Chains A and B, each alone.
Chain A
Amino acid sequence: MKIVTFACNWCSYAGADLAGVSRLKYPEDVRIVRVMCSGMVNPAWILRAFRQGADGVVITGCHPGDCHYMVGNYYAKKRYLLLKELMKFVGFEDERLKLLWASASEGKKFAEEMDSFKKLIEQLGEQKQLRWTP
């Protein structure tokens, strides 16, 4: 399984760090890409990840109202909802895309959410629909 997680620098990446500092465990399948803000996450990156064979993608950002840039996470949410619609429309399992608000003190939440997302993805099985095969 491969799960790509885009984490904003100010809250969620720090939350993931806290999970580490607290030695909480979550699956190795989760790989984090640091971005400045969840509002920076380009939907094309998400589709690209699926195309490259990601089984799941998570966008994590600050809780509503907490974004370091005030409104970035609202943009993230908007794009997320649209992308989900699009995925459903083309018959793609939209559960494979997840949006998570995680603050810098929610290391535990981060780890738990990653754990349960992995379980969900496992149930869905490998993602083949968008994967590029030569």
Chain B
Amino acid sequence: MSVLVVGGGIAGIQASLDLAESGVKVYLVEKLPVIGGRMSQLDKTFPTNDCAMCILSPKLNEVARHENIEIINNADVVALEGSAGNFKVKIRKRPLYVDREKCTGCGVCATLCPVNAVDEYNEGMNFRSAIFLRYPQAVPKVFAIDKSKCIGCGICYNACVAKAVDYNQKEEIVELNVSSIILAPGGRLFDAKKRGEYGYGIYKNVITSIQFERLLSATGPFEGHVYRSDGKVPKRIAIIQCVGSRDEKTNPYCSSVCCTYATKHAILAKEHIPDVEVHIFAMDVRTFGKGFEEYANRAKKEYGVIYHKARVANIMEKKDGNLLIKYEKDGHSYEEEFDLVVLSIGFEANEELRKYSEIFGIDLNEFGFVLTDSFAPIETSKPGIFVAGVASEPRDIPESVAMASASAAKASEFATERSFAKKEEFPPERNVIGEAPRIGVFVCHCGVNIASTVDVVELAEFAKTLENVVFADHVLFACSADTQEKIKRAINDYELNRIVVAACTPRTHEPLFKRTLMEVGLNPYLFEFVNIREQCSWVHTDRARATEKAKALLSAGVAKAKLLEPLQFVEVEVVKKALIIGGGLAGMVSALELAKQGIESYIVEKESELGGNLRHIYYTIDGKNPQEFLKRLIKEVESNPKIKVFKSSVVESVEGFVGNYKSKIKTPNGVEEVRHGAVIVATGAREYKPKEFNYGHPKVITQVELEERIAKGEVPNSVLMIQCVGSRNEERPYCSRICCQVAIKNALKIKELNPDAEVFVLFRDMRTYGFLEKYYEKASKQGVVFVHYTPENPPKVNVNGEEVEVEFYDEILGENLIAKPELVVLSAATVPNEDNEITSKLLKVPLDANGFFLEAHPKLRPVDFSTEGIFLAGIAHSPRLIPETISLSLASVSRAMTLLSKDKLVMDANKAEVTKERCDACGICVKACPVNAIEIVEFKTRTGVELKASVKKAVCLGCGICSASCPKGAIVVKGFTFDQIKSAVDNLLEVVV
């Protein structure tokens, strides 16, 4: 059975890929003609300033070519019947007016279309044609006609060489049977016009954050130049936070992402315009995610971005287009002039959710987002329907991606069969070793895309003159089905053993041709792609010179092809078991989910009982009982036949590689050896024991200790809480994320049990992100007093015998105050586990600067390590709340299932290989390898034992850093060997222009 994924943004994409990779068939429904969602509009991503398209576009291509994914674009779900495990869905496919099968995405139609329509992708800041592709890297790469703008002139119809334009296409209804559904339609951005006092839509130089993002982008309206409406380069930019968030009149919740993206915008503005001044106006700066606080600090210190703890009252426009901003800070009013204002608009519930809630029968929460439960954050109110991404709460990309993976895990519980592309489909491979190269060359016209600039006929003739080329031809579209047949026929008729295609970029079409080779029994690595479109015909105009260049590129391709060798995919048997280090919430959730997917696991817990930090949580902010939840979990884990728990135990050694590990576990009853295919690191973290504020005095305690007391019924009459103790300082620059929530949770609990109690909270920024904001509101309303402090002027806790006294500065009164609470409660940091270092060495996975585990990529691979086969769950990643921990743990299961669902892992064959005769075992490559794939091992030779480098093929990524480091050329990456590239370079230069 299959899974329906609704929404083709980054969450939908990740969910689809995880499912497809673990053998589940996916239908991905997207309402627009192309997938990519909000992320495709982003220029850079925080906190690394990675280019968004660089990391998104490989995923888009993966979705497009995965045999288990079917994209249903320009479509929406209209009806649903049945129940979990057996849903019947009706999908309406709106016409694209372009035949999806025929369109090659060449884009000639769009260049000729006479219509100028508002470009939604660039947020209305420039124009597109009526027949269009939303953005250049879009997938599926199929143009669509916007009928509301089309004038029916017929130019595109006549211009299309592939005959793909079809004005008469009709709407279609598709019916599908699926076993479960993932809802990931994303969110909508707030309409800034609703905050009239900021003048958006009236003042020309007031723009929204998403417009600013497009301005910054190299593919944006001004190619990455930031201009005002009058073409002037802004010199003073104001960024205003919480537009449409934390606002009683519009949306009371916090949108979670705006503070960090505003920080990003400020940094990028500084990079684009070095002398620009950027001011960010925010009530609290909520940079709470992993690495975000450090990012904001960099913005301040390195880029000189100025943050104001202020609320902007209104904006007035001056005659010259400049803007006067009135704001309130520390109880005073100020006015300042800027020449560009960016409104950081927040997320709102997607308008479609209402419709989906009716069609699917799921509940929405008070804000119109999908309702979930803190102990089941992925589940909707209807069994078999899951949610990912912004649809259930505003969240950033890594959280959305983690949730998407998590939803894939939950959804695949219902998908009983799994299917993988089988090798048996292909005929047995022909042995070409020893044969002289017989090369076939195919030159593509790409309609007119290549042929209009490069003389393809001449190029094909030229190919025939090259050594070892026995066949050459030119074709209208190299990627079309009939060309594939032609290639196969030529391979058979001419006994070809190498194929060179000169067409577009290998980045999208290479897999297609490789498959064609396999279909006639030729090894797929005997293929070489020459890019004469993106890197020749499209970037040149002079036909003669472009043709000469194409010849040079082709001759280099042929020269490389000559040296290509047949390579075998690296195959590894998979031991379908997992080792889970850590038996807290994350470890237990992971083990239970794996068990549901039929996978056995070993939990190794160093303490004598399961539960970890959850043992010390007695109530949640939304009134749930974690102790009951914990009891249930422990019972389920301990009674599950697929889970084996080792308590008071530690992992002593881990050997092997992805799919195939052998580990030793030291248990109280001796050492046990286990075999497994994957590892999940769920070692947790702990509460910091403060050195500050006289901690240790009986009246100075931490939040966890307070909670313990309250649970025992000891409710204080007055408390003063101090936030950010041990976080956001020199030693620990990160934000611990959960402490603001814990403080409010405990404050509310005290107020509930003892309404007359006095509760003070001294804070730097209250970071009650997402829907937690409502509890902050509630606490204020119930009389909890919040007082801001700065790190320069922190509160002082004085001890006088039994008594404590807190001295702090009140900004509004402008004077020092003294409080004598019954208890001083420190919101202490969450700090990494002390054994992280040992675990990191054991598994050869890295830690970040703060001592938490470092994931493979902060945005798109939040639970993977760069070493394959090892995954990260729970707060070993970074501090987080219960629902987020659960989501991250389920995500790690989903990622692990992409391996563990298979009997065998099949990996690309472009891996490093050592020529033993040349190797001196100097070890330079061992050090250079970023993933520890190379080791020095003993080899027996006739003369005795010799040391040589050896590559663990299953670990190697094929980057080739080793090959360029080796002083003796003893290690090469197959497909990019020293000789292959050398020979390509030689031939590139032989053809003289």
A interface residues (Cβ-Cβ under 8 A, vs B): 1-2, 4, 9-11, 13-14, 16-26, 28-29, 31-37, 39-45, 48-49, 52-54, 62-63, 65-66, 68-72, 75, 79, 103-109, 111
**Interface 1/0s, chain B 216-241, versus A by CB < 8 A?**
01110001100000000000000000
Stretch at the interface among B119-127, B189-197, B467-475, B958-966: B958-966
- Beyond A36-B959, A54-B989, A69-B961, whether A16 also contacts B984 by CB under 8 A is no
Taking the nearest CB of chain A, how far is it from the CB of B310, in angstroms? 33
B964 lies within 8 A of A75 (CB): yes
CA distance A26 to B507 in the complex (A): 21
Stretch at the interface among B84-92, B172-180, B542-550: B542-550
CA distance A111 to B535 in the complex (A): 10
- Beyond A20-B539, A40-B963, whether A14 also contacts B57 by CB under 8 A is yes
Question: Which A residues lie within 8 Å of B866 (CB)?
Answer: 70
Taking the nearest CB of chain A, how far is it from the CB of B343, in angstroms? 24
**Interface 1/0s, chain B 938-964, versus A by CB < 8 A?**
000000000000000000011111011
CA distance A62 to B973 in the complex (A): 20
Select from chain A the residue with minimum beta-carbon distance to B553. A31
Residue B985 contacts which of A40, A48, A71, A111 (CB distance < 8 angstroms)? A48
Residue B961 contacts which of A9, A19, A53, A72 (CB distance < 8 angstroms)? A72
B993 lies within 8 A of A29 (CB): yes
B981 lies within 8 A of A104 (CB): no
Residue A42 contacts which of B531, B964, B989 (CB distance < 8 angstroms)? B964
A68 lies within 8 A of B959 (CB): yes
A45 lies within 8 A of B930 (CB): no
Q: Could you list 21 examples of A-B contacts with CB < 8 Å?
A: A4-B988, A13-B507, A17-B505, A18-B137, A20-B538, A20-B539, A21-B107, A25-B539, A31-B553, A33-B988, A34-B531, A39-B960, A40-B959, A44-B978, A65-B48, A66-B50, A69-B959, A69-B961, A75-B928, A104-B53, A105-B219
A105 lies within 8 A of B988 (CB): no
Total interface residues on B, CB under 8 Å, equals 61
B538 lies within 8 A of A21 (CB): yes
B539 lies within 8 A of A71 (CB): no
CA distance A18 to B57 in the complex (A): 11
CA distance A108 to B552 in the complex (A): 24
Within 8 A of A (CB), among B42-94: 43, 48, 50-54, 57-58
Within 8 A of A (CB), among B905-944: 910, 928, 930-931
Question: Which B residues lie within 8 Å of A65 (CB)?
Answer: 48, 50
B985 lies within 8 A of A4 (CB): yes
B981 lies within 8 A of A22 (CB): no
Select from chain B the residue with minimum beta-carbon distance to A25. B539
A40 lies within 8 A of B218 (CB): no
A25 lies within 8 A of B930 (CB): no
B53 lies within 8 A of A105 (CB): yes
Taking the nearest CB of chain B, how far is it from the CB of A106, in angstroms? 5
Question: Which A residues lie within 8 Å of B988 (CB)?
Answer: 2, 4, 31, 33, 49
B533 at the interface (CB under 8 A from A): yes
B714 at the interface (CB under 8 A from A): no
B540 at the interface (CB under 8 A from A): yes
CA distance A51 to B786 in the complex (A): 72
CA distance A23 to B452 in the complex (A): 14
CA distance A33 to B983 in the complex (A): 11
Closest 7 CB pairs of A and B: A40-B960, A20-B534, A104-B54, A20-B538, A69-B959, A39-B961, A103-B51
Question: Which A residues lie within 8 Å of B217 (CB)?
Answer: 105
B695 at the interface (CB under 8 A from A): no
A45 lies within 8 A of B539 (CB): no
CA distance A10 to B545 in the complex (A): 28
Residue B58 contacts which of A10, A31, A66, A105 (CB distance < 8 angstroms)? A10
Within 8 A of A (CB), among B852-872: 866
B990 at the interface (CB under 8 A from A): yes
**Interface 1/0s, chain B 417-430, versus A by CB < 8 A?**
00000000000000
CA distance A118 to B107 in the complex (A): 29
- Beyond A44-B978, A48-B986, whether A19 also contacts B539 by CB under 8 A is yes
B780 at the interface (CB under 8 A from A): no
